[in-house]
Chains A and B, each alone.
Chain A
Amino acid sequence: MTLAFPYRFAIVIYGEDGARLGAVAARRDWEPAHEWTRFYFQRRGQLGLDGNGSASSVIPLWEHTLGEPYCRGYRIQIEAPVGRPVASDFPNTHFRDFAAAVASRFVAQKKLREGEFYSYMVVAHPAPPEAAKAGGLSVTNASPSLPARDASLAGCLARATPSGVIDMDDMPVFVSRSVLDEAAKLTHAKEGTETGGILIGTLGRDTNAGEILAEITAQIPAEHTSGSHVKLTFTPETWAAADAALRLRRRGEIYLGYWHSHPVRAWCKARACTPEAQKTCYLAKDFFSPDDEAVMRAAFPRAYSIAMVANDTAFTDLTFSMFGNREGITQPRGFYVLEEAIHGA
């Protein structure tokens, strides 16, 4: 499951006049794109649910006109047990944030003027062979297979109500109404302060539909946290308490992600936002901060993991937004609400 890098990627920054200002070795977190690729093909039955041993690599996609070393994107390629490798292609926009950070550095170094337009290109060169490191830990990946039970997607859909924009490329996620009710109750009880919990449930596999689905059966209130109106701190004690609660349930559930509240009404009050401004504010719905994303990355890195936000605004009833990994990036997504749990359907 370790990613191999036969090429080294770099970002070249150009100024407004097209002058080349410099190149910097590209740094990015490849893991979400790798996870997404693996899970995408597991969903479609082209990779086994135990994909731990599959060799994976990141290779450049050469730009059609300019050719090597200029890239139009990159490819994550994973060896399949039978037949050709599976692969997903990703655009250069995955390097945009890094390019912006480099441009900021260039501004500080006076290579680029403040406010000057810039452009960037991604280049790649063959990586020199790495010398074997002496000593160190000898580590092997022993991750469990995806614990997917047999399930009927059609059966679940027949009993569910869609919420939000459903993208048919996303893994279907079903949330028990009771989970939403509990999250709403906890949010209201802590009005003005962020609160949250751990989402647990099961994965199901419908081999006929060629799909894996998730059912969120319960939420475990996050204990031993500290919350304010702008943040919620999950501590090691939070995770330990959640582990204990999960084991006590003895239902074969796994962690599927986390939820937390956004006390938007408190944010608006602090900023003295007008009622009209509140209604159109980007923070009011489908807002997922870099900090929120960092929790996903550190605690729930698998591509099936999802996050839910309870939006507590002053102008409407509590709403829920869901986020998940789509094409290697955490994005808003739709889900289905189940009035009654299916659990093992």
Chain B
Amino acid sequence: MGKPETTLDIPLEISDVSGQKVFSVANAPTANTVGELVHEMIGKMNLPRNDAGGAPLTYQARSEREGRHLNASERIGDALQRGDRLTLQPNIDAGLR
């Protein structure tokens, strides 16, 4: 776990799986959860929210500094530090459908 952040918001860097789509966030609210951040960033990064059948896709945020997937319920201020880089990694099926 990171040292708890006491500021209201922190800058972060968010990447997709390929590492070729990277966005800087200037003001991630420390009181928000990682799940809320991921939800908003999926839209900002124009990543798909649903699979081919319309079912919601699940993305997990992986902290590069800590080398672990963050739980969606973790608070940004508790789990992340200024300048941390997160990668959004989906759980997704290739298949016959």
Interface residues of A (CB under 8 A from B): 29, 31, 136-144, 146, 194, 196, 230-237, 239-240, 243, 254-255, 258, 260, 267, 283, 289-295, 297-302, 305
Q: Which residue of A is nearest B47, CB measured?
A: A298
The 4 closest A-B pairs by CB, nearest first: A231-B95, A290-B52, A236-B89, A236-B60
- Asked if A291 and B69 make an inter-chain contact with CB atoms under 8 angstroms apart, the answer reads no
- Asked if A139 and B25 make an inter-chain contact with CB atoms under 8 angstroms apart, the answer reads yes
- Asked if A292 and B95 make an inter-chain contact with CB atoms under 8 angstroms apart, the answer reads yes
Q: Which residue of B is nearest A30, CB measured?
A: B46
Instruction: Confirm or deny: B22 has a beta carbon within 8 angstroms of a beta carbon on chain A.
Output: yes
- Asked if A301 and B16 make an inter-chain contact with CB atoms under 8 angstroms apart, the answer reads yes
Shortest distance from the beta carbon of A170 to any chain B beta carbon, whole Å: 19
- Asked if B95 and A234 make an inter-chain contact with CB atoms under 8 angstroms apart, the answer reads no
Assembly CA distance A138 to B91 (angstroms) = 27
Give 1 or 0 for each of B59-80: 1 = CB within 8 Å of chain A CB.
1101000000100000000000
Q: A230-B95, A234-B91, A291-B97 are in contact. Are A239 and B24 (CB under 8 A)?
A: no
Instruction: Confirm or deny: B8 has a beta carbon within 8 angstroms of a beta carbon on chain A.
Output: no
Assembly CA distance A136 to B26 (angstroms) = 11
Shortest distance from the beta carbon of A229 to any chain B beta carbon, whole Å: 8
Assembly CA distance A292 to B96 (angstroms) = 8
Instruction: Confirm or deny: B3 has a beta carbon within 8 angstroms of a beta carbon on chain A.
Output: no
Shortest distance from the beta carbon of A52 to any chain B beta carbon, whole Å: 9
- Asked if B92 and A295 make an inter-chain contact with CB atoms under 8 angstroms apart, the answer reads yes
A-side interface mostly:
mixed
- Asked if B87 and A239 make an inter-chain contact with CB atoms under 8 angstroms apart, the answer reads yes
Contact of A233 among B23, B24, B92 (CB under 8 A): B92
Q: Which residue of B is nearest A233, CB measured?
A: B93
Contact of A143 among B21, B41, B90 (CB under 8 A): B21
Contact of B26 among A138, A297, A305 (CB under 8 A): A138
Q: Which residue of A is nearest B32, CB measured?
A: A137
- Asked if B17 and A298 make an inter-chain contact with CB atoms under 8 angstroms apart, the answer reads yes
Give 1 or 0 for each of B5-43: 1 = CB within 8 Å of chain A CB.
000000001001111111111111000000001001100
- Asked if A139 and B44 make an inter-chain contact with CB atoms under 8 angstroms apart, the answer reads yes
Assembly CA distance A232 to B93 (angstroms) = 5
Contact of B40 among A29, A137, A141 (CB under 8 A): A137
Instruction: Confirm or deny: B48 has a beta carbon within 8 angstroms of a beta carbon on chain A.
Output: yes
Assembly CA distance A233 to B25 (angstroms) = 30
- Asked if A299 and B17 make an inter-chain contact with CB atoms under 8 angstroms apart, the answer reads yes
Residue of A138, A240, A298 with most chain B CB atoms under a 10 A cut-off: A298
Residues of the A chain whose Cβ atoms lie less than 8 Å from the Cβ of B37: 137
Assembly CA distance A117 to B19 (angstroms) = 45
Residues of the B chain whose Cβ atoms lie less than 8 Å from the Cβ of A260: 94
Assembly CA distance A3 to B89 (angstroms) = 23
- Asked if B96 and A289 make an inter-chain contact with CB atoms under 8 angstroms apart, the answer reads yes
Q: A139-B25, A140-B26 are in contact. Are A255 and B95 (CB under 8 A)?
A: no
- Asked if B97 and A139 make an inter-chain contact with CB atoms under 8 angstroms apart, the answer reads no
- Asked if B90 and A236 make an inter-chain contact with CB atoms under 8 angstroms apart, the answer reads yes
- Asked if A234 and B94 make an inter-chain contact with CB atoms under 8 angstroms apart, the answer reads yes
Residue of A233, A239, A254, A295 with most chain B CB atoms under a 10 A cut-off: A239
